[in-house]
A = this chain, B = another copy of it.
Amino acid sequence: MKPTIYDVAREASVSIATVSKVINNTGRISDKTRKKVLEVMEQLHYQPSVVASALTGKRTYTIGLLIPDLANPFFAEIARYVEDRGNEMGFSLVMCSTDNNSKKEEKYISLLRQKSVDGIILASGFTNDKILKELNKEKFPLALISQDISGLSVDSVTVDDFLAGYQATEHLLTLNHKKIAVIAENSRSSKERIRGYREALQDAKLDYDDNLIVISDSMSDTGKQLADQLLELSDRPTAIICCNNLLAIGAIHSAREKGLILPDELSITGFDDTILATAVEPPLTTVKQPIREMSYQVMDLLIQKIEGKTSTKQKRVLVPKLIIRKSTKALKQ
């Protein structure tokens, strides 16, 4: 059996209280006994049980991370950085892929609560507002990344999606593109990006054409199908803004299948800048979200919440950055 605090106490000829104190560096212990206890702990390979300690009101030092899909590189990267930061701060991460499914979200949240996680991070795509409100009302430590729920007082770190949309569009505009299409997800961030797109068009005195916007309304719509639609338009767009890299890859496949030369005959931009961006050919021009920075910040925000040393709710908005690669090119006039 694994040794318990009693084993250590007996072996070191002290009480369990004393052992507890040296474990937690609380109370006043003489150097001599501290040394003795430490020795015994070492020798017995004693590891305090966080289960037991959690039961007495302490933390579990575990947090839950809900994302739509761990197999999506964007979320995998978020998860990796959240994990790293958590690890630095002494917290473990339990993974929950929800597939944007309300039922799964609900189930996972309930599970996490049964396991007494100290807090939960919700990533882009969390759809179940009701649960969110409940958690929030109970003052359960919560933080959002890559998503914010307006009208809800939660900590969040997001990127300025409006600006991101604007930047992508402006870049294309600079390259003389006039017919710029958008492939969006059915999400708040996509909506913001579309807003940015419209504003950029407006600033350039260009008309907005509804037909150039396609929104993937389910997980099964692929970027390729959506791009197919767009590229079959009689007066096809010369550039497509894709709201994530997966969609962009689909668009590239579609274009290639139709024999279009990239980027000469069609410019494509993505968002997020994951590992996929440089893997494809041509390497994608994308608006980068500072994934690492964002991930570190949510973790920090959440931990502040957990430790109760947060005064007010924080909504941090980071700025996206246009990374120009080779999937966009000036349109010949």
Which A residues are within 8 Å of any B CB, using their own CB? 2, 47-52, 54-55, 60-62, 69-71, 73, 76-77, 79-80, 83-84, 92-97, 110-116, 249, 252, 256, 275-276, 279-281
Contact = CB atoms under 8 A, between A and B. Distances in A.
B70 A73 contact: no
Contact of A55 (B51, B73, B110): B51
Nearest to A71: B80
Contacts of A279: 249, 276, 279-280
Nearest to A280: B279
24 contacts: A47-B114, A48-B114, A49-B55, A50-B115, A51-B51, A51-B54, A51-B115, A55-B55, A61-B115, A70-B76, A70-B80, A70-B83, A73-B73, A73-B275, A76-B79, A83-B96, A84-B97, A92-B95, A94-B94, A252-B281, A256-B281, A275-B276, A279-B280, A281-B281
A77 to B, nearest CB: 5
Contacts of A276: 275-276, 279
Contacts of A256: 281
B50 A114 contact: yes
B92 A93 contact: no
A102 to B, nearest CB: 16
A114 B80 CA distance: 22
A158 to B, nearest CB: 21
A51 B114 CA distance: 8
A304 B45 CA distance: 27
Given A115-B50, A249-B279, A79 B92 contact: no
